[in-house]
Structure 1
Amino acid sequence: MKPSLIRITLACLLLQAISAPAVFAVVTPNPPQLQAKGYVLMDFQSGAIIAEQNARMGLAPASLTKLMTAYVVGQEIKSGRLGWEDTVTISENAWSAKFPDSSKMFIQPKDEITISNLMRGVIVQSGNDACVALAEHVAGSESAFVALMNGWAEKLNLQDTNFVNSHGLDIDGIQTSPTDMAVLMQSIINDVPDVYAIYSEKVFKWNKITQYNRNKLLWDNSIDVDGGKTGYTSNAGYSLVSSAKEGQMRLISVVMGTPSKRSRISQSKNLLSYGFRFFDTKQVATQGEVESTAKVWKGDLSEIELGFAEDAYLTLPRSLSAGLDKTIVVNEPIIAPIEKGQVVGKVVWKHDDKTVASYPLVSNQAVAEGSWIGKLWDSLVLWVKSLLA
């Protein structure tokens, strides 16, 4: 190529580079490969699943079961039926001697122990004996308490979960999934925050025996983990549910069936770090915020405001944090009567014509039926509109 032609070509390339908009490619890599039977990484605010493997597989929960035990007790406290300083008398069934080869709080028959201390025995020490003591105190028997556990599992829409005992030792029929455990941890943080606060405690001493929280991520200063629950049986392997914060973002990691204590810690950290590095969560709407208005037919009002029943969040790869299209879809025609909070549409966010998130729109007002003449007129208008459609 002649020197003059080279100079012209370079000049053209330079002008093209100057005039073109700056484009920075951001690549979201695949999630880390984990040695686990199943795992899930979920955003706390949006509930979006960032990464998963065998997320709905029914697996032995081991001591992850104690998350539900603590949740049920937390709901009893929240309702006022139970108090943190209420005293529990320990029965023979809850005697630590009944659990010779498993984790325990080391309680004895006729001990008088507060709910607060028993909860620490469950959460920090992972005590099977403390689980039975709480179960009997709340429901009269462990089997009755397990019915409460399964009732709450159904209410929380834990689709793959069935509890058979209060502590998680291997038994026929007991199972859960990574997704269900992520939803349960999300519910603990949301619904019973006083209970979740205990998960950050690193040590608890009872009966002159000091035990340390088995969630070693609490000691890792490179990641802000403030709660979680470990589990292990020979059938389940080593598992860990953990939650961490970075800025305004909170993630929940569930890793089930890893080969060792060390691997459940390192793999959970890898999963959380991946989520914080490559994803972002933003609030896009506030509960009650007016998003749009819509025509109402046959009502005492002709128009309603449409809003969000809850705060709306989007969790997306950082490469997709901009350039989203938002569309409002109304379930037309909206015909009275309408209840306040009734779903009448949705807001859809898309990227390149692919839906990335959707939240329901609800009526911010109640609308009663209108007069008979108004309803008759609206019926006529709707009939004509249907003919022209």
Structure 2
Amino acid sequence: MLRQVSIVFLLLLIVAPFSPAAAAFDTPASHAIVMDHRTGRVLYGKNIDEPIPTASMSKMVTVYMLLEELKNGSVTEDDTFTVSEKAWKKGGSKMFVRVNDQVRIGDLLRGIIVQSGNDASIVVAEGLSGTEEAFAAKATARMRELGLTDTTLKNATGWPDPDHRMSVHDLARVAQLTIRHFPEHYEIYSEKSFTFSDIKQGNRNPVLYSFDGADGLKTGHTEEAGYGLTASAERDGHRLIVVLTGLGSSRERSVEANKLMQWAFRTFENYTIVRAGKAVDEADVWLGQKVRVPLVVGEDVNITMDEAARKAMEVTAVYEAPVPAPIRQGEQVGEMIVRIPDAEPLRVPLLAGEDVDKLGTVGQIAAAISYMVFGNEKE
């Protein structure tokens, strides 16, 4: 029999005082998103899934592709790529590599991340795929594999092209994946300067200098795209990712990024709904040596939400009961569903908290009769 049980949790870890729900945020940015890093939940959005010009923010994809190659051992930071004439001649922001030089991959990585080098981006693209065009096609396919369906890349730099597009949602996802999969290299995004060929350049990311906890990621600007920024910050273990673009100046970009991040951290909290291993419910057992089995979650269940959403939250355990023995600890027997307003339900597997062996033949007969007559009354 399918059983649904509404659960009320005492959230002992919620220490933030009550505050009225914040008014909706507004920004002059044409496209903007605030995303929770841990869950990927969109906390604020403005035209988030529209493919738009990215400027240099799509260099995060170029970096991601290189980091995958470093992680799988195809290349090392001490390997070198050759600088082509195309890379050397490329305009815009530059690392200032010289044609035909062999440049360390570790330096190219910083040349892209810190200095936003178009030349460095092309060197990496050609080093990994032969041509920038082949790299862009490969990067587009890889992003689609990762679920970034609004991404189409035509180059490695974000240089204006009518078909080179990403949504701010996809940009936030690239940031999330980079932070999650490459924490040891993500730290480079927080470096404030890098010197190459005796030329020192500062990181253009304004929040690194003005927002406590900010540690990435990438600015962008072209005539078509306007001024944009993909940023991330962490406070007290709570990380948010912010993307905004279509602004009119570098100053407006800096002001709006700080305003949006301040609002987001002030408005949203990370709530622990239930701890790993904590019993959510007990399910009746059919023909087992124990009459009930505790249902637990395998890892902490955390949700980022505002106070109004927390008060409206509904948590339900859904499972078939009675659960037939034998039951092995860790076996999934149902799911916990967490519902909050304006969000997809969060579904978490409910696992058996302990082993329950099956009764012997005589015990099975007795238990079956008892269950049909009396049900599974608590001991």
Mean Cα deviation higher: 113-122 or 305-314 = 305-314
Q: Is the 1:343–1:360 contact (alpha carbons within 8 Å) kept by the matching residues of 2?
A: no
Asked if 1:48 corresponds to 2:38, the answer is: no
> Under a length normalisation based on structure 2, what TM-score does the superposition of the two structures give?
0.78
Aligned partner (choices 136, 150, 156) of residue 160 of structure 1: 150
Q: CA 1:92 to 1:51, structure 2 compared with 1: closer, same or farther past 3 Å?
A: same
Asked if 1:239 corresponds to 2:228, the answer is: yes
Letter in 2 for 1:315: T
2:321 and 2:37 mapped to 1: Cα distance? 33
Once the two structures are superposed, the pairs formed by residues 198-213 of structure 1 within 5 Å of their partners are: 198-213=188-203
Asked if 1:349 corresponds to 2:342, the answer is: no
- Deviation, 1:141, is 2.2
1:50 and 1:119 mapped to 2: Cα distance? 31
| Cα distance per residue 1:185-227 (max 9 Å; x no partner) | 011000111221110001111122211111021111x532111
1:135 and 1:126 mapped to 2: Cα distance? 14
Q: Aligned residues: percent identity?
A: 33
2:117 and 2:342 mapped to 1: Cα distance? 47
Residue of structure 1 in register with 2:28 after alignment: 35
Aligned partner (choices 343, 346, 353) of residue 358 of structure 1: 346
Q: What SS is found at the alignment partner of 1:188?
A: helix
Q: Is the 1:306–1:361 contact (alpha carbons within 8 Å) kept by the matching residues of 2?
A: no
1:165 and 1:342 mapped to 2: Cα distance? 47
- Deviation, 1:91, is 2.0
- Deviation, 1:325, is 3.6
Q: Is the 1:46–1:312 contact (alpha carbons within 8 Å) kept by the matching residues of 2?
A: no
Q: May I ask how many residue pairs the two structures share in their alignment?
A: 343
Letter in 2 for 1:249: H
- Deviation, 1:159, is 2.1
Work out which of the two has the higher radius of gyration on C-alpha atoms and give 1 or 2.
1
Asked if 1:58 corresponds to 2:46, the answer is: no
- Deviation, 1:104, is 1.1
Residue of structure 2 in register with 1:251 after alignment: 240
Letter in 2 for 1:174: H
2:295 and 2:134 mapped to 1: Cα distance? 44
1:141 and 1:262 mapped to 2: Cα distance? 36
Q: What SS is found at the alignment partner of 1:205?
A: strand
2:56 and 2:120 mapped to 1: Cα distance? 12
Unaligned ranges ≥5, structure 2 = 1-16, 359-379
Residue of structure 1 in register with 2:161 after alignment: 171
Asked if 1:141 corresponds to 2:131, the answer is: yes
Structure possessing the higher relative contact order (Cα contacts under 8 Å, 6 or more residues apart): 2
2:122 and 2:303 mapped to 1: Cα distance? 40
Residue of structure 1 in register with 2:259 after alignment: 270
| Cα distance per residue 1:52-110 (max 9 Å; x no partner) | 11111111011111001111111111111121221222222321x2x23x111111122
Q: Is the 2:110–2:194 contact (alpha carbons within 8 Å) kept by the matching residues of 1?
A: yes
Q: CA 1:223 to 1:232, structure 2 compared with 1: closer, same or farther past 3 Å?
A: same
> Under a length normalisation based on structure 1, what TM-score does the superposition of the two structures give?
0.76
- Deviation, 1:318, is 2.9
Q: What SS is found at the alignment partner of 1:230?
A: strand
1:296 and 1:141 mapped to 2: Cα distance? 62
- Deviation, 1:273, is 0.6
Asked if 1:107 corresponds to 2:97, the answer is: yes
Q: What SS is found at the alignment partner of 1:253?
A: strand
Unaligned ranges ≥5, structure 1 = 1-23, 371-389
Q: Is the 2:268–2:306 contact (alpha carbons within 8 Å) kept by the matching residues of 1?
A: yes
Q: CA 1:294 to 1:200, structure 2 compared with 1: closer, same or farther past 3 Å?
A: same
Residue of structure 2 in register with 1:195 after alignment: 185
Residue of structure 1 in register with 2:374 after alignment: none
Q: CA 1:213 to 1:154, structure 2 compared with 1: closer, same or farther past 3 Å?
A: same
Q: CA 1:305 to 1:25, structure 2 compared with 1: closer, same or farther past 3 Å?
A: closer
Q: Is the 2:336–2:350 contact (alpha carbons within 8 Å) kept by the matching residues of 1?
A: no
Residue of structure 1 in register with 2:12 after alignment: none
Q: Is the 1:280–1:321 contact (alpha carbons within 8 Å) kept by the matching residues of 2?
A: no
